[in-house]
């Protein structure tokens, strides 16, 4: 009797494991690119999102690192509000800042090498928003890629490829002081329901005849999901003064 019971339990346990197994999608390369671009398209049109950005720029013996958290709501509308926290580290300076956008104004509280300033300036909504959407500006044309591969598991898919240098600036973030870029290596991760999860980009650069490398990652979250961004109070705004650059 005990032996029969043990066999029955073993059968039931094996059956439950089989039921829990999920079939992996069997994408072709074209299908993986199509789903990736659907995820990118949803990000490009998102009215709200949060993201975490981290980058490293190495040129010669100089290394600059930057990390950033962005929370944005009501994208594409006049009542856009956003909050951005940024840390920048260079050999001769470091900077922490908190940036708030509301009612057409940018409020920046900055601590640079221990000196704290609080300034505001008037900035068009589209100009501000485009800056924090510049990490991924467009869908990926498969014809502009080479060495494509993709990795699939039960929850997500990652498409990896090398990207045409002529398309980098119109698709990904390139610092303003870069003179030219060389082909990029890219990885885009998304769910099987076309929710964008992560981006990894790395490309060669030249600035002032010095070769370098830009690498950055972005983790996407809360795309078009409920998001709360606290507004500055009147007393908090009173602590900011108009930027001298904006007043000129």
Q: What CATH number should be reported for the domain holding residue 34?
A: 2.50.20.20
Range of the domain at 203: 29-231
pLDDT in tens, 18-31: 444 567 788 898 99
Number of other CB atoms surrounding residue 221 within 10 Å:
15
Answer yes or no: is 213 within a domain: yes
Q: In a 3-state reduction of DSSP, which class is residue 72?
A: strand
Q: Is residue 96 part of a domain?
A: yes
Is 20 part of a structural domain of the chain? Answer: no
Residue 105 lies in a domain: yes
Report the length, in residues, of the chain: 248
CA of 168: how far to CAs of 11, 144, 212, 237, in Å? 55, 10, 15, 38
Question: What average pLDDT does the chain have?
Answer: 90
User: Within a domain: residue 21?
Assistant: no
Q: Is residue 142 part of a domain?
A: yes
Here the contacts of 19-28 (C-beta below 8 Å, separation 24 or greater) are: 22/154, 24/152, 24/153, 24/154, 25/152, 25/157, 25/192, 27/150, 27/152, 27/157
- Name beta bridge partners: 207: 210
State the DSSP code for 11. H
Compute the distance between CA of residue 30 and CA of residue 158 in angstroms, rounded to an integer: 13
Does the pLDDT at position 12 exceed 80? no
Tell me how many domains the chain contains: 1
156-180 pLDDT, tens digit per residue, is 999 999 999 999 999 999 999 999 9
Please report whether residue 157 resides in a domain: yes
CA distances from 219 to 68, 69, 163, 241 (A): 11, 10, 20, 33
**Any domain includes 106:** yes
Q: State if pTM tops 0.85.
A: yes
Q: Which two tokens stand for residue 117?
A: 């300033």
* Of the candidate ranges 22-26, 160-164, 210-214, 240-244, the one whose mean pLDDT is the lowest: 22-26
């Amino acid at each position: 009797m005990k032996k029969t019971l043990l066999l029955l339990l073993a059968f039931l346990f094996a059956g439950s494991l089989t039921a829990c197994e999920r079939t992996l999608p069997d994408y072709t390369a074209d299908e993986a690119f199509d789903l990736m671009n659907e995820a990118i398209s949803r990000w490009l049109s998102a009215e709200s999102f949060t993201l975490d950005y981290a980058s490293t720029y190495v040129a010669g013996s100089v290394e600059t690192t930057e990390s950033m958290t962005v929370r944005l709501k009501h994208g594409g509308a006049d009542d856009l509000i956003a909050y951005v926290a940024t840390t920048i580290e260079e050999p001769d300076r470091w900077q922490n800042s908190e940036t708030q956008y509301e009612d057409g104004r940018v409020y920046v509280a900055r601590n640079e090498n221990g000196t704290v300033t609080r300034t505001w300036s008037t900035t068009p909504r589209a100009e501000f928003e485009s800056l924090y959407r510049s990490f991924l500006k467009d869908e990926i044309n498969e014809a502009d890629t080479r060495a494509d591969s993709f990795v699939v598991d039960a929850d997500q898919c990652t498409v990896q490829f090398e990207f045409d240098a002529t398309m980098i600036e119109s698709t990904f973030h390139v610092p303003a002081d870069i003179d030219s870029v060389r082909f990029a290596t890219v990885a885009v991760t998304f769910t099987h329901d076309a929710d964008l999860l992560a981006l990894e980009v790395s490309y060669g650069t030249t600035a002032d005849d010095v070769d370098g490398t830009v690498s950055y990652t972005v983790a996407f979250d809360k795309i078009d999901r409920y998001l709360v961004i606290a507004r500055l109070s009147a007393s908090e705004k009173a602590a900011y003064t108009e930027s001298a650059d904006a007043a000129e």
